[in-house]
A and B are shown apart, each in its own frame.
Chain A
Amino acid sequence: MSDRANHLLVVENLHVAVQGKEVIRGVSLALDAGQKIALMGPNGSGKSTLVSTLMGHPSYERTAGKIYLNGEDVTDLAVDEKARRGMFLAFQYPVAIPGVSVANFLRAAVNARRGTEVPVREFRKEMTDAFHMLDVDPSFMGRSLNDGFSGGEKKKIEVLQMALLKPVVALLDETDSGLDIDALRIVAEGINSVSGPGTGVLLVTHYQRLLNYVKPDFVHVLMEGRIVESGGSELVTKLEELGYDWIEKRISQPQEG
Chain B
Amino acid sequence: MANRPVETEKPRASIDIRDDYAEKYGFRDPEAYFHKGKKGIDHEVIEMISRMKKEPDWMRRFRHEALDIFLAKPMPTWGDTELLGSIDFDDIYYYIRPMAEQGKSWDDVPEDIKRTFDRLGIPEAERKFLAGVSAQYESEVVYHSVQESLTKQGVIFMDMDSGLREHPEIVQKYFATVIPPADNKFAALNSAVWSGGSFIYVPPDTKVEIPLQAYFRINAENMGQFERTLIIADRGSRVHYIEGCTAPVYSTNSLHSAVVELIALEDAYIRYTTIQNWANNIFNLVTKRAVAHKNAVVEWVDGNIGSKLTMKFPCVYLVGEGARGEILSVAFAGKGQHQDAGAKVIHAASNTSSTVTSKSISKGGGRASYRGLAKVHRGAKNCKVSVQCDALILDPESRSDTYPTIEVDEERVQMEHEARVSKIGDEQIFYLMSRGLNEQAARTLIVNGFIEAFTKELPMEYAVELNRLIEMEMEGSVG
Contacts and interface: CB of A to CB of B under 8 A. Distances in A.
B2 A101 contact: yes
A97 B428 contact: yes
A180 to B, nearest CB: 24
Nearest to A171: B434
Contacts of B451: 99
- Max count, chain A CB within 10 A of own CB: residue among B4, B434, B437, B442: B434
Given A99-B453, A117-B10, A79 B433 contact: yes
A113 B431 contact: no
Contact of A100 (B5, B10, B445): B445
Interface in A142-191: 142, 144, 161, 165
A100 B433 contact: no
Given A95-B427, A97-B449, A89 B441 contact: no
Nearest to A89: B434
A83 B433 contact: yes
Interface residues of A, number: 38
Contacts, number: 101
A111 interface: yes
A98 B450 contact: yes
A141 interface: yes
B441 A97 contact: no
Contacts of B428: 95, 97
A118 to B, nearest CB: 10
Given A57-B430, A91-B431, A108-B8, A80 B436 contact: yes
B433 A80 contact: yes
Contacts of A98: 449-450, 452
Contacts of B8: 104, 108
B436 A100 contact: no
Given A58-B426, A91-B431, A142-B2, A97 B445 contact: yes
A14 interface: no
B16 to A, nearest CB: 22
B13 interface: no
Contacts of A215: none
Interface of B: 1-2, 4-6, 8-10, 425-428, 430-439, 441-442, 445-446, 448-453
The 7 A-B pairs at the shortest CB distance, nearest first, are namely: A99-B449, A112-B436, A99-B452, A142-B2, A108-B9, A100-B449, A109-B435
Interface of A: 55-59, 78-80, 82-84, 88-89, 91, 94-95, 97-105, 107-109, 111-113, 117, 120, 141-142, 144, 161, 165
Given A99-B453, A142-B1, 18 more contacts: A58-B426, A79-B430, A80-B437, A83-B435, A91-B431, A95-B428, A97-B432, A97-B446, A98-B449, A98-B452, A99-B451, A107-B5, A109-B436, A109-B437, A111-B9, A112-B437, A165-B435, A165-B436
